[in-house]
Structure 1
Amino acid sequence: MFFHGGIEHRSTIPYYTLFLAGWSVAILLIKSRKLALQRQALTLALIPEDPGFRLGSDESVRLVLDNIASQAYDPENFILLDRIQRTLSNLSNTGRISDVSEALQGQAEIDEGCMESTYTALKGFIWAIPTLGFIGTVLGLSRAIGGFGQVVSEGGSTQALADSLTKVTGGLSTAFETTLIALIAALCIQLLMTMIRSREEAFLDACSTYCHKYIISRLRLRDPWRSDLESGGDGA
């Protein structure tokens, strides 16, 4: 396919296309591997299973932070663990559970934005791959038609015209194959990216659910403007 009509008629465009396609696949495979590692954080026993355990006191917060430190070498590299660490570290400066919930929501939006930014290069590649294919098609058409036009202008014989037409059809085949390769590559990358992106979005939703279930619902804070305690299990 890349050497249609002989090596002298080869086009270098498909090589650039496959280079970008391979680069894109490598990025997606790395993202898939990282996502698998991130999901392992959801299985860690960070919060005691005791139903009566409540977060709020320095001792309870320290217990959870120690659990995180003991089960992860670098918690800052895990989205869920980093989100919990940031929230609990600032818990003493928070007066209401609604403030904690807003802080978690804000961090979730930041994580979502960071995830979205990782697709910038891939989106550029998906745009560039079919564009390269169309460029290859235009080059192939110009060469094929140009060669035929030269034979016609020289007033060649019928046999020469027939031979020239054969070369033109071969050139057209090469030109359109270039676009076909690019479109197939772009389609495969787009489908793979969509699949991994949906898995990442599901993971971020799982992180938010985890934080609500094990952090918000376990909170028990003393509002500095009130004398009683506010509990996350009360639907605050």
Structure 2
Amino acid sequence: MKMRLPSEFLYQVFALLFAVIVVHAAYVGVIRPSADSQLAIQAAQQAAGETPIGNRSLAIVIKDYEQEACFILMLWALAIMGLKASRTRSEAHMLNRELIAIPEGTSILPRDAREQSRSLEALPEEEQDYLLPRALANALSRFTTTASIPAVSDAVREQCDIEADRLDSELSMVRYISWAIPSIGFIGTVRGIGDALGQAYKAVEGDISGVTVSLGVAFNSTFVALVLSIIIMFALHQLQLSQERLVLNTQRYIDRHLLRHLSVPRG
């Protein structure tokens, strides 16, 4: 756990740098040159008194700086969620393993709990940090010290609740990004409308090209930002669903493989 936080921080930093480099390279090398050439053709057609041919292409819709920032943030959020999803998948696969071998019909007494935890201690260090081994080790330790099955059940529930809260808090950056992307889109809207109002005198004189371009910036930035936000929120909810299933399945695993085998001697 102590080593994971710095490694995750470095991963997020490098993921952000990678997103900036890739998206900016795509904009500089492909998107903006393509959009500028199409806009130049349309401007020439308008200057010649012709009706511009062709619809607005994707390059024109996403060419502005606000859309570039939104794509960078989207890739960053997807990279963060990809790391979380990979770990969740690895932890979910552990639920298919028999971490503690308790034959059917066998009861575990408090003095036997320490012996059962040896198989957990033999796991690789990375796997020992997963939820299931930690919850099992905590349950066996609590049973050894308290000799109380309800106390063990409470310990498992508490461990899973803490893990659920931790998983939820680690997604705070993704939630911030999902909020920031529409905000950046609205910034583009304000900028575009401001530019359009600044060129209103040209529209009065009969030249509406500048106004239409500025309004295009306004509406395109909001459109792109909202679409990307929908994509991020869908991925976020799928990740949260898998994490919630992991916590619930962990509780069910411990109930089935450990709690029903516990026994406290009478007297």
- Within the candidate set 57, 73, 83, 2:125 is matched to 73
Distance in 2 between residues matched to 1:85 and 1:41, nearest whole Å:
15
Q: Report the residue type matching 1:42 in the other structure.
A: L
1:144 aligns to 2:188 (yes or no) = no
Distance in 1 between residues matched to 2:143 and 2:185, nearest whole Å:
55
Q: Report the 3-state secondary structure (helix = DSSP H, G, I; strand = E; otherwise coil) of the residue aligned with 2:107.
A: coil
Q: Report the residue type matching 2:103 in the other structure.
A: D
2:143/2:149 contact within 8 Å kept: no
Structure showing greater relative contact order (alpha-carbon pairs closer than 8 Å, 6 or more residues apart): 1
Q: How does 1:1-236 map to 2 (within 5 A)?
A: 3=35, 5=39, 11-58=64-111, 60-149=112-201, 151=202, 161-163=205-207, 165-222=208-265, 227=267
The structural deviation recorded for 1:202 is 0.8
The structural deviation recorded for 1:57 is 4.2
Distance in 2 between residues matched to 1:54 and 1:40, nearest whole Å:
27
Distance in 2 between residues matched to 1:202 and 1:138, nearest whole Å:
42
Q: Report the 3-state secondary structure (helix = DSSP H, G, I; strand = E; otherwise coil) of the residue aligned with 1:162.
A: coil
The structural deviation recorded for 1:136 is 0.4
Q: Report the 3-state secondary structure (helix = DSSP H, G, I; strand = E; otherwise coil) of the residue aligned with 2:125.
A: coil
Q: Deviations over 1:111-165 (max 9, x none)?
A: 111111011111111111001001101101111221123x37xxx7xxxx232x1
The structural deviation recorded for 1:49 is 4.9
Counterpart of 1:233? none
Distance in 2 between residues matched to 1:91 and 1:126, nearest whole Å:
43
The structural deviation recorded for 1:203 is 1.1
Q: How many aligned residue pairs are there?
A: 211
TM-score by length of 2: 0.73
Q: Report the residue type matching 2:264 in the other structure.
A: L
Q: Report the residue type matching 2:165 in the other structure.
A: G
Q: Report the 3-state secondary structure (helix = DSSP H, G, I; strand = E; otherwise coil) of the residue aligned with 1:220.
A: coil
Percent identity over the alignment is: 23
1:54/1:219 contact within 8 Å kept: yes
Distance in 2 between residues matched to 1:121 and 1:55, nearest whole Å:
43
Distance in 2 between residues matched to 1:38 and 1:201, nearest whole Å:
12
1:133/1:178 contact within 8 Å kept: yes
Distance in 1 between residues matched to 2:147 and 2:137, nearest whole Å:
17
Range with bigger deviation, 166-175 or 126-135: 166-175
1:68/1:75 contact within 8 Å kept: no
How well do the aligned residues superpose, as a CA RMSD in angstroms?
Answer: 2.0
Larger Rg: 1
Q: Report the 3-state secondary structure (helix = DSSP H, G, I; strand = E; otherwise coil) of the residue aligned with 2:264.
A: strand
Q: Report the residue type matching 2:225 in the other structure.
A: A
2:138/2:155 contact within 8 Å kept: no
2:102/2:257 contact within 8 Å kept: no
Counterpart of 1:234? none
Distance in 2 between residues matched to 1:95 and 1:73, nearest whole Å:
28
Range with bigger deviation, 46-55 or 119-128: 46-55
Distance in 2 between residues matched to 1:40 and 1:63, nearest whole Å:
24
The structural deviation recorded for 1:80 is 0.8
